[in-house]
Amino acid sequence: MFLSDQDIRRAIKKKDITLKPFKEERLQPASYDIALGNKFIVNDAHTTTFIDPANKIFPTTRTVHIKDGEGFVLHPGVSLLGYSKEFFGSDHYLIEVNGKSSLARIGLLVHNSAALVNPGHFLNIALELCNLNNVPIILRPGMAIAQLTFSPLSSGSEQNYKDTGRYSENNLVGYIPPRTIPSPKRKKK
């Protein structure tokens, strides 16, 4: 179940959802459109010949800040991190980030796989932007970039992302290696 526009507005007023800045015109029937921020993290493609997350081998990155009113050229086949203008989160709802159909139709992938924001996580979300088109796409701070939907939990969670999350202290970083999941122990025959 997802919150309706009325429920989203009510939850923001009750401070059950943090969403700053909130603009009424971005509220949709069952979602909220978030805007692209000014910060991008770009790979330096010449610093490594491959990426190996398990062994913490990543390209060097640099941070690029784009002023309001200016554009950032995302070339075909290039992937980078961008951030939302909005700071949001909730202790009471699971938030899902979805790409916008209008951007998907021009080949802009807004998130590769990280669509969920757990309860207790408050952030300017990192967006894994990728140009799947064969021509450059101009990205502009302030443009509608994704939609948020809000789902109530069936009960209160035992864990809180503030205590357990890897990005709970600083979401505005580049790459963080994946957690290692131990292999199950085999039974001896």
CATH value at residue 114: 2.70.40.10
Per-residue model confidence (pLDDT) at position 175: 56
Q: What is the DSSP letter of 90?
A: -
**Sign for the pseudo-dihedral over CA of 16, 19, 20, 25:** negative
For residue range 89-110, what is the model confidence (pLDDT) as tens digits?
Answer: 999 999 999 999 999 999 999 9
Do the domain assignments include residue 174?
A: no
Residue tagged 């979602």 (tokens): 31
Active site residue 24: no
Residue found by looking up tokens 């916008």 in the block: 100
- Regarding predicted confidence, which is higher, 168 or 5? 5
Q: Identify the active-site residue in 25, 70, 96, 128.
A: 128
Q: Domain range holding 115?
A: 5-47+57-152
Question: Of 189 and 54, which is predicted with more confidence?
Answer: 54
Decide if 164 is inside a domain: no
Task: Say which amino acid occupies 114.
Answer: A
Q: Is residue 132 part of a domain?
A: yes
Q: Is residue 167 part of a domain?
A: no
Dist CA 11 CA 85 (whole Å): 20
- Tell me how many domains the chain contains: 1
